[in-house]
């Protein structure tokens, strides 16, 4: 991590934020091989901010900025990247009133979800944003996303990990990327907006934020995720005709400790005893298996159809309406904790940070 570099904001305010540039298109520059993370992000941001209307510039909160020495395209992120981000926020936690993470959009919702579990009880805002176009593109989305993220990161009412994108503030652990090109790249399918930009105002909706019991008393869980980067948790989306040997190839491997199953509709599974047998065996070996839907909206209700009833008996945990990102990063997080299988299963079924 580089040393924080002070960017003087034009508005004198008491609030002090830390911006961390981790990578992504927002800070990319064109190379002979296509867009790649660029350098001197702090200077480039300072220059870009001069393009904001003077009034908007003056309203920005003050912030320091650090850039990772090797910013990445977020397709290269893994659980250790999530751990690094959480640990950097935890290290700086006492020195700042809020944090903005500038991140690539491709796996932004994965990092945001993971941060939520690692930074439980957060008493200040952590706002993750990025852009579909680099900072220097005229009329691109980068500047507005940074402006909005800074405003929400200075709102002390917000006490959770959130994603700001295209005028909308979303709960981080409820967010998923929905578009490859549009600036409206993120959605929060099963949770209302935490806030939004209305004209020049950045309006936070406290009633949609985390309940008091889930915030305000930092109880960070900064486990070592190194082992989790080696493929210990797999993600399997069903397809018509999936064969028991295929499921077994994933879940039977001794290196695998957890699996996220993406089921049909409200939580249905092929009526194939050998497939169920693979699940039951994996659960019996202490592997943490959870099921969510392939549908982007709504929830699973394991057992409401006969076609899904046997999943519960095979030890599969319901992920309700969690996003794949929220369910997968929760499995990683729980498997990295020094707790027993019963506790892990109980905690998976308990809402920890408003993820379900």
Interaction site with ligand ASN (CB under 6 A): 23-25, 73-75, 104-106, 130, 132
- Pairing relationship of beta strands 317-318 and 288-293 according to DSSP bridges: parallel
CB of 339 to ligand ASN, least distance (A): 32
Residue 306: count other Cβ atoms within 10 Å of its Cβ.
9
Q: Where are the beta strands (DSSP E) in 106-200?
A: 126-129, 161-165, 168-171, 176-177, 186-187, 195-198
Phi and psi, residue 92, nearest 5°: -95, 0
Pick between residue 131 and residue 275 the one whose CB is nearest to ligand ASN: 131
Residue 304: count other Cβ atoms within 10 Å of its Cβ.
13
CB of 36 to ligand ASN, least distance (A): 10
Pick between residue 103 and residue 344 the one whose CB is nearest to ligand ASN: 103
State the DSSP string of 252-277: TSTT--EEEEEEBTTTB----HHHHH
Instruction: Report the DSSP beta bridge partners of residue 291.
Output: 261, 318
Contact 141, 24 (CB under 8 A): no
Closest CA to 26 of 131, 105, 129: 131
Pick between residue 77 and residue 263 the one whose CB is nearest to ligand ASN: 77
User: Does 25 participate in catalysis according to the annotation?
Assistant: yes
CB of 34 to ligand ASN, least distance (A): 10
- CA of 82: how far to CAs of 38, 101, 138, 348, in Å? 21, 12, 31, 19
CB of 23 to ligand ASN, least distance (A): 6
Q: Find the distance separating the first CA and the last CA of the chain, reported in whole Å.
A: 33
Active-site choice (10, 15, 25, 70): 25
Pick between residue 104 and residue 354 the one whose CB is nearest to ligand ASN: 104
Closest CA to 263 of 296, 224, 291: 291
CB of 308 to ligand ASN, least distance (A): 34
Pick between residue 130 and residue 209 the one whose CB is nearest to ligand ASN: 130
Q: Closest CB to ligand ASN belongs to which residue?
A: 104
Classify residue 149 as exposed, middle or buried by CB count within 10 Å of its CB (0-12, 13-18, 19+): buried
- 211 three-state secondary structure: coil
CB of 263 to ligand ASN, least distance (A): 28
Pick between residue 106 and residue 320 the one whose CB is nearest to ligand ASN: 106
Pick between residue 183 and residue 227 the one whose CB is nearest to ligand ASN: 183
CB of 77 to ligand ASN, least distance (A): 8
DSSP conformation class of 240: T
Active site residues: 25
């Amino acid at each position: 991590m580089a040393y924080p570099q002070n960017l003087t904001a034009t508005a004198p305010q008491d609030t002090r934020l830390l911006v961390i540039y981790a990578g992504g298109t927002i800070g990319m520059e064109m190379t002979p091989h296509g867009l790649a993370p660029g350098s001197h992000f702090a200077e480039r941001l300072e220059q870009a901010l001069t393009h904001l209307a003077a009034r908007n510039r003056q309203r920005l909160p003050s912030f320091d900025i650090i850039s990772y020495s090797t910013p990445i395209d977020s397709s290269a992120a893994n659980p250790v990247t999530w751990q690094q981000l959480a640990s950097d926020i935890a290290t700086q936690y006492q020195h700042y009133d809020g944090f903005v993470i500038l991140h690539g959009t491709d796996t932004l919702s994965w990092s945001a979800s993971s941060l939520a579990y690692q930074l439980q009880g957060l008493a200040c805002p952590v706002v993750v944003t990025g852009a579909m176009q680099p900072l220097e593109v005229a009329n691109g989305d980068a500047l507005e996303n940074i402006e909005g993220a800074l405003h929400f990161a200075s709102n002390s009412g917000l006490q959770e990990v959130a994603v700001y994108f295209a005028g909308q503030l979303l709960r981080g652990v409820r967010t998923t990327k929905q578009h490859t090109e549009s600036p409206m790249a993120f959605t929060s399918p099963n949770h209302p907006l935490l806030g939004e930009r209305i004209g020049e105002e950045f309006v936070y909706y406290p009633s949609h934020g985390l309940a008091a019991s889930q915030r305000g008393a930092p109880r960070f869980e900064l486990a070592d995720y190194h082992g989790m980067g080696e493929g210990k948790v797999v993600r399997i989306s069903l397809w018509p005709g999936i064969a028991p040997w295929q499921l077994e190839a994933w879940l039977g491997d001794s290196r695998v400790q957890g699996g996220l199953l993406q089921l049909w509709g409200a939580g249905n599974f092929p009526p194939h005893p050998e497939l169920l047998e693979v699940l039951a065996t994996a659960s019996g070996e202490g592997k943490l298996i959870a099921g969510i839907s392939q549908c982007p909206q709504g929830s699973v209700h394991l057992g409401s159809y006969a076609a899904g009833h046997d999943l519960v008996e095979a030890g599969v945990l319901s992920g309700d309406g969690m996003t794949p990102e929220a369910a997968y990063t929760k499995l990683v997080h729980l498997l990295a904790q020094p707790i027993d299988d019963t506790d892990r299963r109980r905690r998976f079924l308990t809402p920890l940070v408003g993820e379900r």
